[in-house]
Amino acid sequence: MALHPSSLPAVLSPVLTPVQSDGEILLELFAKQCGWLQKSNVGLAVFGTNSEGNSFSASQKINALEYLVNHGLAANQMMPGTGACAVADAVTMTRATLELGCSGALMLPPFYYKDPAEDGLFAYYAQIIEKIGSDQLKIYVYNIPPVVKFGIPVTLLERLVAAYPNTVVGMKDSSGDWEYTKACLDALSPKGFRVYAGSESFLLRTLRAGGAGCISATANVNPAAIAHLATHWQDDNADELQAGLDVVRTTFAKYPMIPAMKAACARYSGNNQWSQLCPPLLTLPQETQEKLFTDLDTIQFAMPGL
CATH number of the domain within which 147 lies: 3.20.20.70
Half-sphere exposure of 296 (CA within 13 A, CB side): 22
Half-sphere exposure of 28 (CA within 13 A, CB side): 2
Asked, for residue 189, whether it belongs to a domain, the answer is yes
Asked, for residue 284, whether it belongs to a domain, the answer is no
Nearest to 172 by CA among 192, 152, 190: 152
Quick one: pLDDT at residue 271?
96
Quick one: pLDDT at residue 1?
67
CA–CA dist 224, 39 (Å, integer): 9
Q: What is the total count of domains within the chain?
A: 1
* Residue range of the domain that includes 79: 11-237
Asked, for residue 252, whether it belongs to a domain, the answer is no
CA–CA dist 254, 162 (Å, integer): 40
- pLDDT 10s digits, 22-74: 999 999 999 999 999 999 999 999 999 999 999 999 999 999 999 999 999 99
Asked, for residue 135, whether it belongs to a domain, the answer is yes
Confirm whether 172 is a catalytic residue: yes
Confirm whether 142 is a catalytic residue: yes
- pLDDT 10s digits, 189-206: 999 999 999 999 999 999
For residue 127, how many other CB atoms are within 10 A of its CB?
14
Quick one: pLDDT at residue 2?
81
For residue 287, is pLDDT > 80?
yes
* Mean pLDDT, rounded, for 162-172: 98
Based on C-alpha coordinates, what's the Rg of the chain?
Answer: 18
Nearest to 147 by CA among 170, 172, 127: 172
Asked, for residue 290, whether it belongs to a domain, the answer is no
Asked, for residue 242, whether it belongs to a domain, the answer is no
Asked, for residue 22, whether it belongs to a domain, the answer is yes
Quick one: pLDDT at residue 137?
98
Asked, for residue 246, whether it belongs to a domain, the answer is no
- pLDDT above 70: percentage of residues in the chain: 100
Catalytic residue among 124, 172, 196, 268: 172
Beta bridge partners of 196: 172, 213
For residue 221, is pLDDT > 80?
yes
Distance, C-alpha 237 to centroid of its chain: 26
Distance, C-alpha 38 to centroid of its chain: 14
In this prediction the pTM is 0.96
Residue 42: what residue type? V
Residue 215 annotated as binding? yes
CA–CA dist 276, 251 (Å, integer): 21
Give residue 222's pLDDT band: very low, low, confident or very high (50, 70, 90).
Answer: very high
